[in-house]
Amino acid sequence: MTADFKEELSRLEQCGRLRQLRPLAGRRGCRIQYQGREMLNLTSNDYLGIAGDALLLSRFYEGMGSSASLLDDYGLGAASSRLLAGDTDLAHRLEEELALAYSSSGRSVALLFNSGYHANIGILPALLDKNDLILSDKLNHASIHDGLRLCRAEHKRFQHCDYDQLERLLADNRHRYERVVIVSESVFSMDGDVADLGRLVQLKKEFDALLYLDEAHAVGLYGERGLGKAEEQGVVADIDLLVGTFGKALASLGAFVICGQDIHDYLVNHSRSLIFTTAAPPVVLNWNRLVFQQQQAMAEQRRHLAILAQQLRHSLRRFNLPAAGNTNIIPLIIGDDQETVRIAETLQGQGFLIFPVRPPAVPEGTARFRLSLTADMSWQDLQGLPEILARELAASQQG
């Protein structure tokens, strides 16, 4: 049996798809050390620069000295699930703050999960049964696809952002099912493009469906208070299940869903990824409260990041490089797996930490770089990158 594993690992290595863990250290803002060298980190999801903000982290830990209850505020382990002995006042205060931010009318509530993955594999399987249907964007995150596999409901995938096809699927199938849920990300993590939330809301209403929106790569970056694309486009109240994470722009771990009270209570009783896992420790919940409050006032960082992404796209196009998407995530499709690995290693030698993204994380034949910009970068950090990329891609084509 182990020989089969070794053979598969050898095959992955030969075709340029072998994945390995890569320890990083020495984080300093948007720079980090890899293999003994400091590099500009273009692989991070630290979109607002919070994870690299040593001053904010120091301010957080200064509170330990004045904390009247060290274990309640900074404890490192919950030691139980929330439904046993792992629930805390901190968790409830964080949920209340989230619900208040997303619903000033008080119609929605929030429920915490330990990660975006826990949310996406735990919510739909809990809510839906064999008489229900899920319609999911083909390029939704892998955690959503895993949630579909765990769900007893039937599911169909529509082509990426093809809302005409989605409408046809709704027209052909809605009458056959008790409940239908449309599932989409708002910002797609590997393509850096954005869903048409207005169209999704219109289809949801027309066909009496529910709308599940994953805002993992939008929370912190869009909207006046950084609540995501739903806030920016004015449709928060129309989203039945809005999932956000702390693990990207908010520089922590954990996730939440904004939903109605009945759905919240149903999930508490039926979502296995919530019920059967140890709760997040107090120190994480406390940090999450701080960064959620902090990011709501980071409008300047959001504006800076949008300008920086625009500058880099413009510069890449000057070198005839296809810079797809319209967010701070800029995909550059190379195609061949091994060539993508080779160019990534060359870029690392030039001081840019870029790792190759290969199937199955992306479709076959679309191995790429996912250039992830963060608000603590400047144009001076990036301005040499387009020319180096253009040179390496030209050499690759000639070879």
By annotation, the residues acting in catalysis are 45, 141, 185, 189, 214, 217, 248
Distance CA 68, CA 93 (A): 17
Cα distance between the two ends of the chain? 39
